[in-house]
Each structure stands twice: as C-alpha cells, then as structure tokens.
Amino acid sequence: MAGPLEGVKVLELAGIGPAPFCCMMLADAGADVLRVERIKGGLTGGLTSKDGDVKSGSPHWDLLNRGRRSLSLDLKDPANVELVLKAASKADILVEGWRPGVAERLGVGPEVCMKRNPRLVYGRMTGWGQDGPLAMRAGHDIDYIAISGALWAIGRNGERPVPPINLVGDFGGGGMLAAFGLLAALVEAGRSGQGQVVDIAMVDGASVLMTMVYALREFGVWQDDRGANLLDTGAPFYEVYETADGQYMAVGAIEPQFYAELLKGLGIESDSDLPGQMDRSRWPEMKERFVGIFKTRTRAEWESIFDGVDACVAPVLSPAEAPQYPHNRARSTYVERDGQIQPAPAPRFSRTPSAIVRPAPHPGAGGEDALREWGVA
C-alpha cells in the first residue's frame, strides 16, 4: 500500500539540514522526490561514512536523503538550468534551502518556475527568512534559536544556556514547519489551482515552538530565570537524575497522582516532613533529596521499581540503546534498511502507511529514471 502522498512530485534543490529532513518526511509519506545536487561546492563539508568512502552499490551514509533519486548538475550550465525548469513544470512542490537570491541568480527562482507551472508550491527554507536585517547573514541552528528566546530557556539555574543539538531550529522549527507549510499550500492549490511561495524561516519556527512558554509567562507562572520553572529543571519532579552506575533516569511526574506514585517508588510517600508538590520555596531541598535517593540504585533497578507504574519515570537511553528498548522494538520505532539502523517513518497512517522506499542515493543515482517517469526528456 502506497503512502498518503503517492502521486505528489517534489523537486528538491539540495541543501543541508532542515530542507533534506523535510523532503525525507515527504518521501517517507509516499511523495516522489527528485533531489538535484549541485556538482560544484560540495554540500557535506568533506564528510564520509564511518567506514570511509562508501563502496559502489551500497547505500549512502546520509539517512536524511533516503527515499529519493538524485541528479548531479552544474547549474552554471544553461542546459542544466533548463532541465531543472522542465522538472519544475512537472512538480507539485519545489524545495530550496539557499540564501535569499541564490535561486534567482541561478535562474531557478520562484518567478521563472511558477511561470512554467502556476500550480507549483515553491518552498524556501532559510534560517532568518527571506527578508529582515539578518536575511543575508550566515547562521546556524544555534543562532536562530538564540534570537527566538528558545535557547535562553534551555539550561540549568545559574548556568549558561545549553544548545539542544540542532533539534529545535533545524528540524522542529525548520524541517517539520516546512513539511506542514508545503502541504498546507498544496491543499490550497488543489482548491484554487494556484501555487504560492512558502517562506520557511527557522527563527519563525523556533518562535512558534515557544508559544506555550509565552502563554505561561502571560499567566504569571513562568519566570525568565533559567532552571526555575516547571519544565526547565526547576521542579524536582521534572528532572534527570543520576543513578548508582552513572546512568540516568528521567522524571516527569507533573500531575498530583503521578507525583504520588513517584514518592511511593522512592520510598518516601509516608514521610511527615514532605512539602506540598508546588511549594516552590522547597523545590531545591526536594531536588537534593531526590538526587541522593536516585544514587542509591542502578538504572536497571529503578527501571524495575517503576515498571508498570504511572509515575512518568523512564530510563535515559543513548542513541545506541534506543533501537533495542522493548517499547521501541514492539512498535518498530527503529528499522534496519540495507544494513542501516534508522528511525522509522512517522507519523503512522492506518490505511496508507509510510515506508522507506529506497535508501539514500549517491549523488546522481537514479535521477535519469525519475526524469523519464516525470515525462522530462
């Protein structure tokens, strides 16, 4: 059974990070994605797989590129630019992740593409957006979340902010926002017969992800002091604790009934000196108490204690451990494809399931077949 986006053609003008992640999601959901690599410049900074150069015939190491076919083109050649425009005329969605103006200089900007294909949804993925004082400035995930307020809020009290790797800007505020925006525009194009340009900025996406924090600030229950709030390690019942064997347990017992189960699992539910759960003045004291208790047992022992208990407690797993965790195995949250262990497509559809239809291609692999299937000579 094909995915829900079967029949949707996506032309990806190759970039790095969030745009490939967006196109991976579209391909997982059944879209036919053709990735156009620029021959000159190199997009991976000289990276190779962990085993060195990938052997011929084996899948490429970059899992973000899974599910599509690839063309390698020198876009300084007018004939190759014309080929891209022909492909754009057949596409439903085009995605590019370059700085503002680059696509126009290469001759594949939205105006010329949409002249060929008025129904085209043209997605533009950048960090700062297509306009504004910083639009032409270089940047990375950490910079975009810095000015959105998100980076400020991540970290412990009295310490500097901690970058959440590149999940908030690149992938949450970038790639997933792009997938949503492009498909929303595609639905509208189906009604109106007209495409449009979708301006996807990671600074905008990271700001949207902060909506609940702004709501809590408005309500007066969130301080700008880092590590002093309900969800930022300020509360003892929403924290990560080290165990006796140097591993960690994650605790998220926010609701009173879950907090009661947490206290029971820790063996202190009957202590007469326990403060109220929301007594902020005694949060530091309770956190120190929890620190001492968690260090008395190993992670495996705590897993056993909280197994089957609604205390919102879970082991903190490494990327190597996560695919083998029983719940993840039962749901096939991770899959092995062509010898590569990787996250499975998400979300899940009951009637038209997503799938990894092919591994990540080496640059230029399969593109000619895709063009023929799209009807491009």
Cα–Cα distance between 121 and 118 in angstroms, integer? 9
Say how many C-beta atoms besides its own lie within 10 A of residue 143's C-beta.
18
* Residue 219 forms part of a structural domain: no
Sort 126 into a burial class: Cβ within 10 Å, 0-12 / 13-18 / 19+.
buried
pLDDT of residue 377: 84
For residue 67, being part of any structural domain is answered with: yes
Unique residue bearing structure tokens 């085209």:
120
Note whether 171 and 244 are same-domain residues.
no
The answer to whether the predicted template modeling score (pTM) of the entire model surpasses 0.85 is: yes
Domain CATH number, residue 203: 3.40.50.10540
Q: Based on the domain organization, do 34 and 169 belong to the same domain?
A: yes
Same-domain status, 113 and 247: no
Structure token pair of residue 14: 């190759």
23 plus 156 within the same structural domain: yes
Residues 6+ apart with CB under 8 A from 182: 22, 26, 93, 95, 121, 123, 198
Question: Of the listed 141, 170, 204, 232, which one is catalytic?
Answer: 170
- Whether residues 351 and 314 share a domain: the answer is no
User: Which residue among 282, 302, 318 closes a domain?
Assistant: 318
Residues 17 and 115 occupy one common structural domain: yes
Q: Is 171 inside any structural domain? A: yes
In a domain, 150, yes or no: yes
Residue 250 is assigned to a structural domain of this protein: yes
pLDDT digit string (tens) for 303-312? 999 999 999 9
The last residue of a domain, from among 302, 318, 334: 318
Structure tokens at 221: 């229950």
Please report, for residues 50, 71, 248, the alpha-carbon distance to residue 371 in angstroms, rounded to integers and kept in the order given. 32, 9, 50
* Residue 170 designated active-site: yes
For 268, the domain range is 238-318
Domain containing residue 298: CATH number: 3.30.1540.10
In a domain, 116, yes or no: yes
Identify whether 229 is part of a domain.
no
Are residues 316 and 247 in contact, defined by beta-carbon separation less than 8 angstroms?
yes
Q: 168: which DSSP letter?
A: I
- Determine which helix (DSSP H) or strand (DSSP E) holds 339, and give its type and residue range: none
| Domains in the chain, number | 2
Residues 245 and 193 in one domain: no
Low-confidence residues of the chain: pLDDT under 70: 1, 40-57
In a domain, 267, yes or no: yes
CB 177 within 8 A of CB 117: no
